[in-house]
Structure 1
Amino acid sequence: MNHYQPSLPDVQFILGQVLHAPERIAALRPYREVDAALIDQILDEASKFIAEQIAPLNRVGDEVGAQWRDGAVTMPSGFRDAYQSFWQSGWASLSTATQDGGQGLPAVLDSVLYEWLSAANHGWTMAPGLLHGAYECIKHHASDALKTQYLSKVGTGEWLTTMCLTEPHAGSDLGLASTKAVPQADGAYLISGTKIFISGGEHDLSDNIVHLVLARLPDAPAGPKGLSLFLVPKFYPDGEKESWVRSAVYCERIEEKMGIHASPTCVMRFDETRAWLVGEAGRGLNAMFVMMNAARLHVALQGVGLLDAAWQKAEAYSHDRRQMRAPRPKDAPRGAGAGAADLIIEHPAMRRILDTQRAWIDGARVLAYETGLALDEAKHHPDAAQRDAAQRWCALITPILKAACTEQGFHGASECLQVLGGHGYVREWGIEQNVRDARIAMIYEGTNEIQAIDLLMRKVVIDGGAALSAMLATLRQHLSTSQPHEAQVLSLFDELMATTQICLDTAQRNDGQVQLSWIAGDYLRLASLALWAWAWTRIEAAQGSDTPRWQAPAQALRAWVLPEFVMRSGIIRTQLGH
Structure 2
Amino acid sequence: MPRYTAPVKDALFIINEVLDLQSHVEDLPSYAEATPDLIAAILEESGKFVSNELAPLNLSGDEEGCTLLEDGTVKTPKGFKEAYQAYSEAGWPSLTQDPEFGGQGMPHAVGMIIEEFLVSANHGFAMYPGLSSGAMAAINIDGSQEQKEQYLPKMVEGSWTGTMNLTEPHCGTDLGMLRTKAEPNADGSYNITGTKIFISSGDHDMSENIIHLVLARMPDSPAGTKGISLFIVPKFHINDDGSIGERNGVSVGSLEEKMGIHANSTCVMNYDQATGYLIGEKNKGLNSMFIMMNAARIGVGIQGLALSEVSYQNALDYAKDRLQMRSLTGPKNPEGPADPIIVHPDVRRMLMNSKSFNEASRCLAVWCGHLVEMSHNSTNEKRREWADDIVGLLTPIIKGVMTDEGFDNCVNNQQVFGGHGYVKEWGMEQFVRDARIAQIYEGTNGIQALDLVGRKLGANGGRSIQRYFKSVQTLIAENKENDALKDFTVPLEAGIKDLQQATMWLMQNGMANPDNAGAGSVAYMHLFGRVILGHMWLWMASVVQPKIEASEGDTAFYKTKIKTGRYFMRRRMVETKSLLAELEAGCEDVMALHEDEF
TM > 0.5 fold call: yes
Conserved? CA contact 2:107–2:370, under 8 Å:
yes
Deviations 1:500-541 (A, max 9, x none): 1111111331x2x22101110011111111111111111212
- Once the two structures are TM-superposed, the CA of residue 242 in structure 1 deviates from its matched residue by 7.7
Deviations 1:324-383 (A, max 9, x none): 11211xxxx633346641101111110111011111111111111100011111122233
Identity of paired residues, percent? Answer: 39
What CA distance in whole angstroms lies between the structure 2 residues aligned with 1:243 and 1:446?
A: 34
Equivalent position of 1:385 in the other structure: 382
1:165 and 2:166 are equivalent in the alignment: yes
Instruction: Go from structure 1 to structure 2 and tell me whether the alpha carbon gap of 1:272 and 1:318 turns closer, same or farther (over 3 Å shift).
Output: same
Equivalent position of 2:583 in the other structure: 572
For the residue of structure 1 that corresponds to 2:251, the secondary structure is strand
Instruction: Go from structure 1 to structure 2 and tell me whether the alpha carbon gap of 1:240 and 1:399 turns closer, same or farther (over 3 Å shift).
Output: closer
For the residue of structure 1 that corresponds to 2:393, the secondary structure is helix
- Once the two structures are TM-superposed, the CA of residue 238 in structure 1 deviates from its matched residue by 4.4
Conserved? CA contact 2:491–2:570, under 8 Å:
no
What CA distance in whole angstroms lies between the structure 2 residues aligned with 1:334 and 1:234?
A: 64
After the TM superposition, which residues 520-559 of structure 1 pair with which residues of structure 2 at under 5 Å, given as runs? Answer: 520-543=521-544, 544=554, 547=558, 549-559=560-570
- Once the two structures are TM-superposed, the CA of residue 542 in structure 1 deviates from its matched residue by 2.2
1:423 and 2:420 are equivalent in the alignment: yes
Worse-superposed segment, 206-215 or 18-27: 18-27
> What amino acid does structure 2 have at the position aligned with 1:409?
G
1:492 and 2:503 are equivalent in the alignment: no
Instruction: Go from structure 1 to structure 2 and tell me whether the alpha carbon gap of 1:241 and 1:309 turns closer, same or farther (over 3 Å shift).
Output: closer
> What amino acid does structure 1 have at the position aligned with 2:414?
L
> What amino acid does structure 2 have at the position aligned with 1:165?
L
Equivalent position of 1:137 in the other structure: 138
Equivalent position of 2:596 in the other structure: none
Conserved? CA contact 1:181–1:217, under 8 Å:
yes
Worse-superposed segment, 3-12 or 376-385: 376-385
What CA distance in whole angstroms lies between the structure 2 residues aligned with 1:446 and 1:230?
A: 21
What CA distance in whole angstroms lies between the structure 1 residues aligned with 2:277 and 2:413?
A: 47
- Once the two structures are TM-superposed, the CA of residue 390 in structure 1 deviates from its matched residue by 1.3
Conserved? CA contact 1:303–1:438, under 8 Å:
yes
- In structure 1, stretches of 5+ residues that fail to align are none
Instruction: Go from structure 1 to structure 2 and tell me whether the alpha carbon gap of 1:545 and 1:529 turns closer, same or farther (over 3 Å shift).
Output: farther
Worse-superposed segment, 86-95 or 379-388: 379-388
What CA distance in whole angstroms lies between the structure 1 residues aligned with 2:25 and 2:292?
A: 24
Conserved? CA contact 2:182–2:217, under 8 Å:
yes
After the TM superposition, which residues 166-205 of structure 1 pair with which residues of structure 2 at under 5 Å, given as runs? Answer: 166-205=167-206
Equivalent position of 2:264 in the other structure: 263
Instruction: Go from structure 1 to structure 2 and tell me whether the alpha carbon gap of 1:237 and 1:384 turns closer, same or farther (over 3 Å shift).
Output: closer
Equivalent position of 1:435 in the other structure: 432
Deviations 1:260-312 (A, max 9, x none): 00001001111111111111110111111111111111111111000001000
Deviations 1:2-26 (A, max 9, x none): 1311111111122222222332356
Deviations 1:76-101 (A, max 9, x none): 11101111111221101111111101
- Once the two structures are TM-superposed, the CA of residue 385 in structure 1 deviates from its matched residue by 2.8
- Once the two structures are TM-superposed, the CA of residue 545 in structure 1 deviates from its matched residue by 6.6
Equivalent position of 2:219 in the other structure: 218
Conserved? CA contact 2:515–2:587, under 8 Å:
no
> What amino acid does structure 2 have at the position aligned with 1:487?
V
1:298 and 2:299 are equivalent in the alignment: yes
What CA distance in whole angstroms lies between the structure 2 residues aligned with 1:461 and 1:517?
A: 15
For the residue of structure 1 that corresponds to 2:104, the secondary structure is coil
Deviations 1:16-67 (A, max 9, x none): 2222233235641122122111111111111111111111111111010111
1:307 and 2:342 are equivalent in the alignment: no
What CA distance in whole angstroms lies between the structure 2 residues aligned with 1:85 and 1:293?
A: 28
Worse-superposed segment, 470-479 or 255-264: 470-479
Equivalent position of 1:56 in the other structure: 56
Equivalent position of 1:446 in the other structure: 443
- Once the two structures are TM-superposed, the CA of residue 157 in structure 1 deviates from its matched residue by 2.2
Worse-superposed segment, 30-39 or 520-529: 30-39
TM-score by length of 1: 0.95
Conserved? CA contact 1:465–1:500, under 8 Å:
no
Deviations 1:417-440 (A, max 9, x none): 110000111012111110000000
Deviations 1:526-576 (A, max 9, x none): 111111111111121223576553244223313431221110011112227
- Once the two structures are TM-superposed, the CA of residue 481 in structure 1 deviates from its matched residue by 2.8
What CA distance in whole angstroms lies between the structure 1 residues aligned with 2:431 and 2:243?
A: 47
Matching residue within 399, 414, 419 for 1:402: 399
Worse-superposed segment, 550-559 or 148-157: 550-559
What CA distance in whole angstroms lies between the structure 1 residues aligned with 2:85 and 2:126?
A: 13
> What amino acid does structure 2 have at the position aligned with 1:299?
V
After the TM superposition, which residues 194-343 of structure 1 pair with which residues of structure 2 at under 5 Å, given as runs? Answer: 194-239=195-240, 244-328=245-329, 334-337=331-334, 340-343=337-340
Conserved? CA contact 2:492–2:569, under 8 Å:
no
> What amino acid does structure 1 have at the position aligned with 2:185?
Q
Instruction: Go from structure 1 to structure 2 and tell me whether the alpha carbon gap of 1:262 and 1:242 turns closer, same or farther (over 3 Å shift).
Output: closer
Worse-superposed segment, 152-161 or 548-557: 548-557
Conserved? CA contact 1:182–1:191, under 8 Å:
yes
Conserved? CA contact 1:130–1:161, under 8 Å:
yes
What CA distance in whole angstroms lies between the structure 2 residues aligned with 1:396 and 1:242?
A: 42
Instruction: Go from structure 1 to structure 2 and tell me whether the alpha carbon gap of 1:316 and 1:247 turns closer, same or farther (over 3 Å shift).
Output: same
Instruction: Go from structure 1 to structure 2 and tell me whether the alpha carbon gap of 1:197 and 1:25 turns closer, same or farther (over 3 Å shift).
Output: farther
Conserved? CA contact 1:180–1:215, under 8 Å:
yes
What CA distance in whole angstroms lies between the structure 1 residues aligned with 2:107 and 2:53?
A: 24
> What amino acid does structure 2 have at the position aligned with 1:228?
S
- Once the two structures are TM-superposed, the CA of residue 467 in structure 1 deviates from its matched residue by 1.8
Conserved? CA contact 2:324–2:338, under 8 Å:
yes
Equivalent position of 2:99 in the other structure: 98
What CA distance in whole angstroms lies between the structure 1 residues aligned with 2:378 and 2:453?
A: 28
